[in-house]
């Protein structure tokens, strides 16, 4: 790992809070682009992060892997006895506005996501995610749409006066959620 990338990787590991990590990544030009209201939970800097563009209002959960390259060229080169015979395959990843990417998603090079899209936890994105869709699975496929999600999430899940505050669930909200869950 090149020294500069290693230094940034160590720094990112030590920065608390996704907003602060994202601000660091933006201010140091690690990604090709990071727009407004982008939050990255992951503490890993992908190889060739400069081939990744993140537009506006994006949330990236923990454990997301951005795959901007493969190493098949080394296998093929070693197979024929000439490591310079094949080029490393690399590609860009473009994530448009209003996108949520769930935990442990893998996003392959050469893909575009959104706008107004959701990638469900654990999905493997191998081709473009159409605007306004929800995708999930391996490989990721359309399982819903953004408009339906907007309507569903507007419904009250719990009373507003006991909502989580500062990422803390109060005892009242805890009791409420367990009662609802056991119904």
pLDDT in tens, 128-143: 999 999 999 999 999 9
Q: What is the pLDDT of residues 140-169, one digit of tens each?
A: 999 999 999 988 888 888 998 999 988 899
The predicted model gives 73-83 an average pLDDT of 85
E strands in the chain: 33-34, 38-40, 52-54, 58-60, 65-67, 93-95, 99-101, 106-108, 111-113, 117-119, 124-125, 133-136, 141-145
Domains and CATH numbers, the chain: 3-182 (2.160.10.10)
Is pLDDT larger for residue 1 or for residue 76?
Answer: 76
> What is the widest separation between alpha-carbon atoms in the chain?
68
Mean pLDDT of the chain: 93
pLDDT grade for 53, boundaries at 50, 70 and 90: very high
SS3 170: coil
- CA-nearest of 95, 99, 139, 103 to 122 is 103
Is pLDDT larger for residue 72 or for residue 118?
Answer: 118
Q: What is the pLDDT of residues 79-104, one digit of tens each?
A: 888 878 888 889 999 999 999 999 99
pLDDT of 1 above 80 = no
The proportion of the chain whose per-residue pLDDT surpasses 70, expressed as a percent, equals 99
DSSP state of 130: P
């Amino acid at each position: 790992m090149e020294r500069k990338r290693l230094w940034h990787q160590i720094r990112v590991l030590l920065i608390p809070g996704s907003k602060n990590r994202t601000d660091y990544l933006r201010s140091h030009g690690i990604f090709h682009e990071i727009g407004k209201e982008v939050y990255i939970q992951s503490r890993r800097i992908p190889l060739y992060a400069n081939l990744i563009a993140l537009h506006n209002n994006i949330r990236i959960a923990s454990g997301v892997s951005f795959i901007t390259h493969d190493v098949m060229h080394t296998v093929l080169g070693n197979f024929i006895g000439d490591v310079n015979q094949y080029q490393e395959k690399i590609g860009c990843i473009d994530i448009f506005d209003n996108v949520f990417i769930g935990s442990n998603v893998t996003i392959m090079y050469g893909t575009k996501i959104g706008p107004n899209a959701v990638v469900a936890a654990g999905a493997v994105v191998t081709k473009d995610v159409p605007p306004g869709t929800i995708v999930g699975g391996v490989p990721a496929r359309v399982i819903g749409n953004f408009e339906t999600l907007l309507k569903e999430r507007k419904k009250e899940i719990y009373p507003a006066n006991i909502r989580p505050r500062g990422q803390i669930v109060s005892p009242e909200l805890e009791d409420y959620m367990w009662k609802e869950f056991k119904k």
